Amino acid sequence: DVKVTQSSRYLVKRTGEKVFLECVQDMDHENMFWYRQDPGLGLRLIYFSYDVKMKEKGDIPEGYSVSREKKERFSLILESASTNQTSMYLCASRKGARAMGQPQHFGDGTRLSIL
């Protein structure tokens, strides 16, 4: 089974801090994704990566950046955390460069609170 591991289940940070969320997958998947999940809004794509050192903006990239130095690891960075970034963050990975029918595999999520 595919395993997507997010480094923290719960995280509490202060406004203005730089925050790192880490995600690791163990199935050599090419594609990786970061979403945020908010009640009533479903999942919204923040950034994604189709290959090492490659990144593309999703639908809500403002206030975030990402890093993919190795194939198995995809990091989400909140440059200067704000209270409106309090949310559940989900990482996902998928096999294939542009495989339309391949499902995404999700981690258990990081519930981030910004105080």
Q: Which residues form the interface with another protein (CB under 8 A)? A: 4, 9, 40-45, 48, 50, 56, 58, 90, 92, 98-101, 103-109
SS3 75: strand
Tell me how far, at minimum, the Cβ of 34 lies from another protein, in Å.
12
**Closer residue to another protein, CB minimum distance, 16 or 41:** 41
**Closer residue to another protein, CB minimum distance, 78 or 105:** 105
**Closer residue to another protein, CB minimum distance, 6 or 85:** 6
In 1-114, which ranges are E strands? 4-6, 10-13, 19-25, 31-38, 42-49, 56-57, 64-70, 73-78, 87-94, 105-106, 110-114
Tell me how far, at minimum, the Cβ of 80 lies from another protein, in Å.
27
* Rounded Cα–Cα distance for residues 20 and 64 (Å): 10
